[in-house]
Structure 1
Amino acid sequence: MKNVFVIKKLLAVVVLLTITSCKGQSAEKKEIVLDKKQPNILLILCDDLGYADVGFNGSKDITTPNLDALASKGTIFNEAYVAHPFCGPSRASLLTGRYAHKIGSQFNLPTEGDESKGIDVNETYISKVLQQAGYYTGVMGKWHLGYQTEFHPNTRGFDDFYGFLGGGHNYFPEQFKAAYKRQKDSGRKFIWDYLRPLEHNGKEVDETEYITDALSRETIRFIDEASKKEKPFFTYLSYNAPHTPLEAKEEDLERFKHIEDKKRKTYAAMVYAVDRGVGKIVEKLKETGQYDNTLIIFFSDNGGKVKAGANNFPLTDGKGSAHEGGFRVPMFFHWPNVVPSGKTFSHPVSALDMYPTLAALGNAAIPEGKLLDGKNIWKDFLNNKNPRKDEALFIMRHRKGFSDVAVRKNEWKALKVYQKKWKLFNIEKDLSEKQDLSTKHPEVLKNLIAEGQEWSKTHVEPLWFHIEKEGEHWRNDKMPRFKETFKLD
């Protein structure tokens, strides 16, 4: 069936979308009727994309015409945050609607051969909620949430999965297949997941295309299949680009020969490959009559990695940081005749909000007792209102013996990094975090720290560590040591 539903008026939709769940409150089952016209949802997530590395966010040297076209006809979010500045925890928060620190996934999955870990099976993913509401669901690309059957995409609410289960992958099949064969033939027990074959619904496939192109191709295939079904679709397109390794096609590199820095040039070409794929996907949506009833959401899992060629200007720092550059990301919504066209939304939103918002749009019942840290932002979004006025957002990244922390509430941001003193910024006026206002507004800082301390009480012990050395440090240093972290200097 071709989904040719066109919603022409916003207000008829707004009054129906009222699911709200935040700060760990239990969500009740909601009966939401969207005139039986559930939108298709295409959620596009880039990996380590810099804040200033797309045209719609000011990039001058990287061209992204297809993304820019969607953004210009949609709404750009200039205060969009993810819930963690690293890949795995950020993705866990996106699909569960919960801070990673509350479900034990505050570190990336183990990378030293232990593939037994994964996100708690009692956490219902947004994919499962939408699937139960009648959606045809698919994920293409990077998973990074567990290898075993109980953690596999097909078990966690996705009808179709094409991609890889680990935290990254090499891009050229002729290279990674040869390396994989050499290691396998040598009898090596553990082979790095960046080299392993891609899979489709649990079966290895012999991929031949540049990986970014392959993921775009498979998304097009999925959309084509969805057009023949009597149901809407939810597609989670999880590109691994422009995450390292930095590998790009020659024809894409040629397009950016004006960039002298080799890393930046390769990175730019990788971003362009994403943009090219998005353009083809949009063409398929139009061809199958699904474009007008498809909500397209685009953002990154965390800030760009500066050492790998990313640019987060004007934000400070990048991936892994509690500074804005670590978790403030480029983002837009696009949905013809529904999402305001040519607008900018200048209020804070979080990736945590995707769960309740998409559930509401999809006329999906959130399981009774399901805890969420985000909220349904749709009504406030359409009315250009702050969806979390007087409500805080938190970020935390654990290091050896201490943690970097940030608390954002209204115009204020409290920040503590590298065991230095707490600082306070008016983040709406000082996006680059240059002017510390802690001495001018000590009560503001004190209150934000107190909120952060209260939030820390909801945390649980990590269920795993990225490398065992991290676990040793954690135990030896008696982490998380929140009493020291949230001590007012």
Structure 2
Amino acid sequence: MILKSVNTSLFLSIVLLISSCTGVKSQSVKTNEIKTTRPNIIIIMTDDQGYADVGFNGSKEMITPALDKLAKEGTIFSSAYVTHPFCGPSRAGLLTGRYPHEFGSQFNLPANSEKSVGEGIPLSEKFMSSQLQESGYYTGIIGKWHLGAVAGYEPKDRGFDYFYGFLGGGHNFFPEDYVKKYKQQKEAGNKNIWEYLAPLQRNGVEVEESEYLTDELSHDAVRFVNNASKKDQPFFLYLAYNAPHTPLEAKEEDMQKFSNIKDKARQTYAAMVYAVDRGVGELVVALKATNQYENTLIVFLSDNGGRTDQGANNAPLRGVKGDTYEGGFRVPMFFHWPNKVPAGKHYEYPVSALDLYPTFVGLAKATISKDKQLDGKNIWNSIVKSENARKGEMIFSMRHRAGFSDVGVRQDEWKATKAYNGPWKLYNIDSDISEKHDVSGKYPEQLEKMVLGAKKWSEKHTEPRWFDPESLSKVWTDKEMAKFLNTFEISK
């Protein structure tokens, strides 16, 4: 009867007093204090989503209310870049905090790489997930991996406590289709079944699911949050959707919402993006229901530019996935964290996916390993103050083609581009976002400085550990591509 009349705060004070007097430490109180002083961190990454294909970047065709609300209540990055215009190298750069060219991962791992390559991202590279795990975070990845499909290189080997998804570079979306095909080919004795048909895995165990893949990944993310919220530690979730990457497959009820779009590829693509947005909305509901929302940093971005031949729109950027024009590696991105990330703001200065590793480690109050090399920087204070985090610094992209290399360099308001074996060109990207007007003749010293910067960066590159397609291996050798012949020559 006495305890019922005591208010909650007084009761807790008595409990803590008793604990201290008896020499017993309250571990739950201690860990809760640690947990609430460090944010949960969620990266939501889509696959091949165009710069223009979200409402918060101005799309009139995409329906993305959940993403738009988070973006509006957070900070939108108008000049966010990934490390490569292709999926695998981009993800490698994100999770290692280094340009993939510097450790031999400048090409996608080829399909069914467990047989043709037999390795993944070098084990010498410590992933962001490992760093956060060691600092006390509960870590999980849901969705696409594409960083190594053999033992020793899988998510559980790279700092993730939990994994649900697929190891390769992509996957079909309807299980009633891919499960059937996989079983048929397996029964027929096919030893090299296309990885897009392979069963999903949960912590190394194959599972058979029945939901449309995007929905299944979203629902598992909700389960992860529900489980993680019960732990006395913050969590890190890397939610790596494979939508709207090909194959273009969408639910009929989602397709109907875009009946006004006559182009079938664009309509299907829009429906796939809508399914992602629906999942993000469900994730937000779960965060609020578990009282994690206020202390969770959500970062959204695409892994590279979109394929305009497969329904995407990168406007007003020039170029597509695979290019070193802006459309290849400049992506939609936002940060959201209530009362921490400035709300309703646009951050116009250039930033790189490389910056996420040191920024997250800083927020986690962790110490980066002494032997860990990073190419990015902690941009948190600059975001909060709306200051240029990379003033005077360069952001690079390089894509190797058959016999030559394309390069893109961003520095403040300038963009230098070498594409399709053409000459170097310079653009004032702030006033010419579509890279239409070459001003290299007017500012030759600026172009020379950026090209020399890219050349110096290239000197840190290593030989590719694999090629995609594998036929490029011979081209690489025959054309002596590692010497970057003519790559850094400026036409006079």
TM-score (norm 2): 0.92
Conserved in 2, the CA contact under 8 Å of 1:392 and 1:407?
yes
Give the secondary-structure state (helix, strand or coil) at the position aligned to 1:42. strand
In structure 1, what is the Cα distance between the partners aligned to 2:34 and 2:226?
24
Long gaps (5+) in structure 2: 1-32
In structure 2, what is the Cα distance between the partners aligned to 1:421 and 1:200?
48
Conserved in 2, the CA contact under 8 Å of 1:414 and 1:445?
yes
In structure 2, what is the Cα distance between the partners aligned to 1:381 and 1:329?
17
Conserved in 1, the CA contact under 8 Å of 2:34 and 2:233?
no
Aligned residue pairs: how many?
A: 457
**Identical aligned residues as a percent:** 58
Conserved in 2, the CA contact under 8 Å of 1:85 and 1:326?
yes
In structure 2, what is the Cα distance between the partners aligned to 1:345 and 1:360?
20
Shift of 1:476: 1.5
In structure 2, what is the Cα distance between the partners aligned to 1:123 and 1:358?
17
Residue aligning to 2:126:
124
Shift of 1:483: 3.8
Q: State whether structure 2 residue 78 is matched by structure 1 residue 75.
A: no
- Cα deviation per residue 1:80-136 (whole Å; 9 max; x = unaligned)? 000100000000000000001001000000226415020001111000000011101
In structure 1, what is the Cα distance between the partners aligned to 2:238 and 2:111?
24
In structure 2, what is the Cα distance between the partners aligned to 1:419 and 1:84?
18
In structure 2, what is the Cα distance between the partners aligned to 1:481 and 1:399?
14
Residue aligning to 1:161:
163
Indicate which of 275, 278, 285 corresponds to 1:276. 278
Indicate which of 358, 362, 365 corresponds to 1:363. 365
Q: State whether structure 2 residue 377 is matched by structure 1 residue 353.
A: no
Residue aligning to 1:404:
406
Residue aligning to 1:487:
489
Q: State whether structure 2 residue 415 is matched by structure 1 residue 413.
A: yes
Residue aligning to 2:452:
450
Q: What is the identity, as a one-letter code, of the residue corresponding to 1:55?
A: G
- Cα deviation per residue 1:395-416 (whole Å; 9 max; x = unaligned)? 1000011000011111111111
Conserved in 1, the CA contact under 8 Å of 2:47 and 2:87?
yes
Residue aligning to 2:309:
307
Give the secondary-structure state (helix, strand or coil) at the position aligned to 2:197. coil
Residue aligning to 2:184:
182
Residue aligning to 1:145:
147
In structure 2, what is the Cα distance between the partners aligned to 1:442 and 1:126?
39
Q: What does 1:17-416 correspond to in 2, within 5 Å?
A: 37-111=37-111, 113-416=115-418
In structure 2, what is the Cα distance between the partners aligned to 1:358 and 1:393?
19
Conserved in 2, the CA contact under 8 Å of 1:117 and 1:464?
no
Conserved in 1, the CA contact under 8 Å of 2:298 and 2:337?
yes
Shift of 1:35: 9.2
Q: What is the identity, as a one-letter code, of the residue corresponding to 1:109?
A: L
Conserved in 2, the CA contact under 8 Å of 1:108 and 1:465?
yes
Shift of 1:480: 2.8
In structure 2, what is the Cα distance between the partners aligned to 1:473 and 1:482?
13
Shift of 1:36: 6.2
Conserved in 1, the CA contact under 8 Å of 2:35 and 2:232?
no
Q: What is the identity, as a one-letter code, of the residue corresponding to 2:174?
A: F
Conserved in 2, the CA contact under 8 Å of 1:86 and 1:301?
yes
Residue aligning to 1:22:
none
- Cα deviation per residue 1:29-51 (whole Å; 9 max; x = unaligned)? xxxx9896110001100000000
Give the secondary-structure state (helix, strand or coil) at the position aligned to 1:137. strand
In structure 2, what is the Cα distance between the partners aligned to 1:362 and 1:128?
12
In structure 1, what is the Cα distance between the partners aligned to 2:61 and 2:345?
24
In structure 2, what is the Cα distance between the partners aligned to 1:368 and 1:98?
15
Residue aligning to 1:441:
443
Give the secondary-structure state (helix, strand or coil) at the position aligned to 2:481. coil
Runs of 4+ in 1 over 6 A off after TM superposition: 33-36
In structure 2, what is the Cα distance between the partners aligned to 1:365 and 1:106?
28
Conserved in 2, the CA contact under 8 Å of 1:111 and 1:467?
no
Q: What is the identity, as a one-letter code, of the residue corresponding to 1:111?
A: A
In structure 1, what is the Cα distance between the partners aligned to 2:263 and 2:396?
35
- Cα deviation per residue 1:194-238 (whole Å; 9 max; x = unaligned)? 000000000000111000000000000000001110000000000
Q: What is the identity, as a one-letter code, of the residue corresponding to 1:352?
A: L
Conserved in 2, the CA contact under 8 Å of 1:322 and 1:405?
yes
Residue aligning to 2:26:
none
- Cα deviation per residue 1:284-340 (whole Å; 9 max; x = unaligned)? 000000000000000000001111100000000110000000000000000001111
Shift of 1:467: 2.4
* RMSD of aligned alpha carbons: 1.1
Residue aligning to 1:460:
462
In structure 2, what is the Cα distance between the partners aligned to 1:407 and 1:126?
25
Conserved in 2, the CA contact under 8 Å of 1:34 and 1:361?
no
Q: What is the identity, as a one-letter code, of the residue corresponding to 2:344?
A: G
Give the secondary-structure state (helix, strand or coil) at the position aligned to 1:357. helix
Q: What is the identity, as a one-letter code, of the residue corresponding to 1:61?
A: E
In structure 2, what is the Cα distance between the partners aligned to 1:286 and 1:378?
24
Shift of 1:428: 0.9
Structure with greater helix percent: 2
Conserved in 2, the CA contact under 8 Å of 1:402 and 1:481?
no
Shift of 1:421: 1.1
In structure 1, what is the Cα distance between the partners aligned to 2:487 and 2:317?
24
Residue aligning to 1:475:
477
Identify if the C-alpha distance between structure 1 residues 181 and 448 changes in structure 2 by more than 3 Å, giving closer, same or farther: same
Conserved in 2, the CA contact under 8 Å of 1:305 and 1:318?
yes
Give the secondary-structure state (helix, strand or coil) at the position aligned to 2:331. coil
Q: What is the identity, as a one-letter code, of the residue corresponding to 1:58?
A: G
Residue aligning to 1:21:
none
Shift of 1:446: 1.0
In structure 2, what is the Cα distance between the partners aligned to 1:293 and 1:41?
9
In structure 2, what is the Cα distance between the partners aligned to 1:71 and 1:488?
40
Q: What is the identity, as a one-letter code, of the residue corresponding to 1:95?
A: L
In structure 1, what is the Cα distance between the partners aligned to 2:352 and 2:74?
18
Give the secondary-structure state (helix, strand or coil) at the position aligned to 2:44. strand
Identify if the C-alpha distance between structure 1 residues 47 and 35 changes in structure 2 by more than 3 Å, giving closer, same or farther: closer
Structure number with the bigger relative contact order (C-alpha 8 A, sep ≥ 6) is: 1
Long gaps (5+) in structure 1: 1-32
Conserved in 2, the CA contact under 8 Å of 1:115 and 1:147?
no
Conserved in 2, the CA contact under 8 Å of 1:256 and 1:268?
yes
In structure 1, what is the Cα distance between the partners aligned to 2:402 and 2:35?
52
Conserved in 2, the CA contact under 8 Å of 1:115 and 1:146?
no
